[in-house]
Amino acid sequence: MLNHLRNDLKTNSNAPDSRSFLFKDKLYLFLLKSNLYKFSNRNIKNTIIRKLIKLKFIKASKGKLTDYLKLFNELKEDLYIIVYQISHLDLSIQLIISNMKLQILTKGIGLEHPTVKSVIEIAEELLSENKVLNMETLYNAAKKRLKIPRNGLLFIIQFLINKKILIEGSKFSRETVLSNHVRNRIYRYIRMNPGVHFSNIRKKALSEEAGSSGQLVWHLEMLLKFNYVKKIKVGHYSVLLPFELDEDVGRILFILRDRINNKIIHLLIENDTFIKSEIYKKIDEKREDVYYRIKNLLDYGIITLNQDLDREMCINNDLKEDIIKILDAT
């Protein structure tokens, strides 16, 4: 249609009224309008959008060739925008539906879920063959045996990875990592003595073993990897805690393990405040040792200076309740 118009325009280009001649012909106007509508109709499937475009043509029932060509270009731009918006709308809807499915799935998911247990069992079977855990191999084995939807299986595997039940490239699962009796002993020692550091574990937990420091590091890394324990920094020390224990509590437990720290804190709990220069006399320790501990306790935020008298020390009010509970429990 448009080629036909171009040819007509070339043929009549010398005629001064060629455009007006064409657009006085109702057939040309009708054909041009129809062709434009068909063009738009092929690209748009949405009924509402078709109606809007049709309305544009009705409003432009009269006009010159330039008006219709301008309308044609506007429609093309509108079409690109509309198609872009529709594709993004479709994507948004898919994401919302996918998220809704995920939320529904997470409500019923947990380590006691039968399908989750089945996936763990399959993983442990693969590990029992002395293989490192490969998630793709696990996915293929579980998909074949369990016959569950792809997205659901992928979600369960990711759930187990996030929970540190399974770890890519490991020869263990969270259930089997404690099967090593040395590692199990280390873990039990940390649970019974939260707030210990490396040298304590080396002396106590491995006292009957010929284990080296390198072996202890390896066992601790496995416990850290599977979220059995966690490590925090207190000053220059790396302190080990059971994973579920609050870090602030663990820090206090570590500080209280020091004999002189313990005596200073007991003194301040019993007396509310105490003059710094008198503390070493009261607890019967060397002054330099006590002053060193006081400096550390101030740095850790366990004790503070009295706001009224700089020479007086007191327990940090924000931690006092926790400290009393810990002292009562030990």
First to last CA, the chain: 94
Residues 166-189, mean pLDDT to the nearest whole number: 90
Q: What are the CA-CA distances from residue 329 to residues 256, 294, 319 (Å)?
A: 12, 24, 16
Average pLDDT rounded to a whole number, residues 7-28 = 45
Instruction: Find the mean pLDDT for residues 245-261.
Output: 92
Distance separating alpha carbons of residues 193 and 185, to the nearest angstrom? 12
* Residue 135: C-alpha distances to residues 96, 109, 142, 154, 212 (Å): 27, 19, 10, 10, 33
Contacts of 312 (CB under 8 A, 6+ apart): 273, 274, 275, 276, 305, 306
Residue 209 has pLDDT above 60, yes or no: no
pLDDT of amino acid 50: 54
Please tell me the predicted confidence (pLDDT) of residue 192: 92
Of all residues in the chain, what percent are helix, strand and coil, respectively (each to 5)? 70, 10, 25
Pull the structure tokens for residue 112: 């006691």
Of 246, 243, 245, 253, the C-alpha closest to 197 is 253
DSSP 274: E
User: What's the average model confidence in pLDDT over 6-29?
Assistant: 45
For the cut 80, the answer to whether the pLDDT of residue 122 exceeds it is yes
User: Strands of 273-275's sheet, edge to edge?
Assistant: 273-275, 312-315, 303-305
Residue with more model confidence, 109 or 287? 287
Domain 177-243 listed as CATH 3.30.1330.120: no
Helix (H, G, I), strand (E, B) or coil at 44: coil
Whether 279 has a pLDDT exceeding 70, the answer reads yes
With CA atoms as reference, report the closest residue to 72 among 45, 23, 26, 39. Answer: 39
Give residue 45's identity as a one-letter amino acid code. K
User: What residues contact residue 60 under an 8 Å CB cut-off, 6+ apart?
Assistant: 67, 68, 71
Q: Name the pTM for this structure.
A: 0.60
Higher pLDDT, 221 or 85: 221
How high does pLDDT run on average in the chain? Answer: 75
Region 258-329: CATH code = 1.10.10.10
CA–CA separation, 59 and 130 (whole Å): 76
Q: Taking the CB of residue 302, how many other CB atoms lie within 10 A of it?
A: 22
Residue type, 240: L
Q: Per residue in 115-125, is it b (16+ CB within 10 Å) or e — as a string?
A: ebeebbebbee
